[in-house]
Amino acid sequence: MKKQCTSRPSEVVTVAAQRVTFSITIKCICKKMMKTPIVRLLVTALLVTTLSGIAEVHSAVPAAAPLRYNSGVSSAPTVAAEPNRAPRMTQRDIDERLWLAALSGNMHVLRDMISQGGNPRTATPHRETALHAAAARGHLQAVIYLIKNGANIHARTSNGWTPLHHAARFGHAHVANYLLRAGANPNHPTTDRARKTPIDIALDRNDMRMARLLGY
């Protein structure tokens, strides 16, 4: 029996979350619905994962829609229902949007969430803070803004990675330079068995420019 196409916007996210590949998802959503910009962006964004499997959907949904996220790859974010009406955001909603804004480098949303009382030290279940996210993606302005608003430059993930580790891992010298000037320690080892410092991370990548910047 042929599956019936999904034609209601409220069902699109659920359908997308239940599919593994983009091609299968598209087949299960009516062509008419895929012509709607927000639906098309949501379906695409739901299939994109970032640090520790966190879905990056911040830029794909309206600013008023609260998101839910975690560190597991098996679950997808959900968008608060009731279209055409801006729901009231809780502290958790604000903190989650702050984290996602740091990840995507969206300074407008980041400033807005901070002004609404967002916690600049907000983190995922794996203790990846908003500063970790911004450093990993090379968003210098977000890094600067978070630190000026109380983010912890020495924050460690569950494996002991600091924001400087992330900057070194992804080759963001401009971010690493700022973190160093702000007091980050290039000799802090991770807490896993590898015990890697940011300098070790740079050397593993054969990034001598980064290694020298870190004091090698």
Model pTM above 0.75: no
205 phi, psi to nearest 5 deg: -90, 0
Q: What share of the chain has pLDDT > 90, as a percent?
A: 59
Evaluate whether residue 64 is within a structural domain. Answer: no
Q: Which of 28-37, 86-95, 180-189 is predicted least confidently?
A: 28-37
CATH assignment at residue 99: 1.25.40.20
Number of structural domains found in the chain: 1
Q: Which two tokens stand for residue 155?
A: 């924050």
Average pLDDT of 45-74?
40
Higher pLDDT, 201 or 87: 201
Mean pLDDT of the chain: 76
Average pLDDT of 92-110?
97
Position 146 scores a pLDDT of: 99
7 phi, psi to nearest 5 deg: -125, 5
Asked if residue 131 lies in contact with residue 143, where contact means CB atoms within 8 angstroms, the answer is: yes
Evaluate whether residue 13 is within a structural domain. Answer: no
Average pLDDT of 180-187?
98
Position 88 scores a pLDDT of: 84
Q: How far apart are CA 92 and CA 124, in angstroms?
A: 12
Evaluate whether residue 207 is within a structural domain. Answer: yes
Q: How far apart are CA 197 and CA 211, in angstroms?
A: 11
- Give yes or no for residue 139 having a pLDDT over 60: yes
Best CA proximity match to 6, nearest among 123, 21, 20, 24: 24
Position 59 scores a pLDDT of: 38
Asked if residue 28 lies in contact with residue 71, where contact means CB atoms within 8 angstroms, the answer is: no
Report CA 96 to chain centroid distance, whole Å. Answer: 9
pLDDT 10s digits, 9-20: 444 444 444 443
Evaluate whether residue 107 is within a structural domain. Answer: yes
Q: Is 55 helix (H, G, I), strand (E, B) or coil?
A: strand
Q: Using 50, 70 and 90 to split pLDDT, how confident is the model at 36?
A: low
pLDDT 10s digits, 187-207: 999 999 999 999 999 999 999
- Give yes or no for residue 74 having a pLDDT over 90: no
Position 87 scores a pLDDT of: 73
> Domain of 159?
74-213
Question: 74, exposed or middle or buried, with CB in 10 Å at 0-12, 13-18, 19+?
Answer: exposed
